[in-house]
Amino acid sequence: MVMAEPTELAVVRDRLATVHDPEIPTVSIVDLGLVHDVRVDHGRIEVELLPTFVACPALEVIRSTTAEALAGLGRPVDVSFTFAVPWTTERLTPAGRIGLRRAGIAPPSERSAVRCPFCDSAEVAMDSAFGPTLCRSLFYCRGCRQPFEAFKPI
């Protein structure tokens, strides 16, 4: 077995940080906590990702975008999804939480701790646990009087 140079693994990780959720352009799949495992051995690059929600329709897009980002490194690329560990909201990095706010989406919190991503008011109310995508809920901010979305804690 030929082990990859550490630098090669670093290159793969750098490239993964350029892949974004198709619906949240401000958050990379790394900061979203989707990357479960990265291996560069047996002459291949293997990446295992975690689905946020089992039925997320963006999975295939994320898989192919990830494979494209890793093309051209001189090795075959294999990107797959696994349930080895459940994706949970705790997997979001601090940068991921900031990125969500920049996209106008409140990062996941207990319902009582959700704050408006626009004006940071805590005077918010949940309209519905179900929003435009499986991973988001609908809220309304009484501070700036705007509806907003919040990432669903899971």
Partner 1 sequence: MTDFAGLEPIAMDFSGAGGGRERALALLLLSMADDEFVIGFSDSEWTGIGPILEEDVAISSLAQDELGHAQALYRLFVDVVADGRDADAVAYDRPPDGYIHARLLDHPRGDWAWTIARRWLYETADAARLAALAETSYEPLRQLVDKLRREERYHEMHVDAWLERLAGGGAEPRRRLEAALTAMGPDAGTVLAPLPGELALVRHGILAEPFAAIEARWRAVTSTRLIGLGLAALPPTTDPDHARSGHSDAFRVLHADFTMVRRSEVGATW
Residues interacting with partner 1, by CB under 8 A?
Answer: 51, 53-57, 82-88, 127-132, 134, 138, 152, 154
Q: Considering beta carbons, is residue 18 or 82 the nearer one to partner 1?
A: 82
Closer residue to partner 1, CB minimum distance, 43 or 132: 132
Which residue, 81 or 96, is less far from partner 1 as judged by CB? Answer: 81
Which residue, 40 or 124, is less far from partner 1 as judged by CB? 124
CB closer to partner 1, 3 vs 130 = 130
Minimum gap (Å) between residue 117 Cβ and partner 1: 19
Least Cβ distance, residue 11 to partner 1 (angstroms)? 30
Q: How far apart are the C-alpha atoms of 99 and 33, rounded to whole Å? A: 13
47 neighbors 66 (Cβ within 8 angstroms): yes
Helices (H), the chain: 6-16, 59-69, 94-102
The structure tokens listed for 108 are: 């996941």
Which residues lie closer than 8 Å to 43 by C-beta, 6 or more apart?
Answer: 2, 75, 76
Nearest-approach distance from CB 115 to partner 1, in angstroms: 21
Over the range 65-76, which residues count as b (16 or more CB within 10 Å of their CB) and which as e?
bbbebbeeeebe
Question: In this structure, what token pair is assigned to residue 24?
Answer: 């949240």
DSSP state at residue 3: B
Nearest approach, Cβ of residue 94 and partner 1 (Å): 22
CB of 129 to partner 1, least distance (A): 6
Q: What secondary structure letter does DSSP report for 85?
A: S
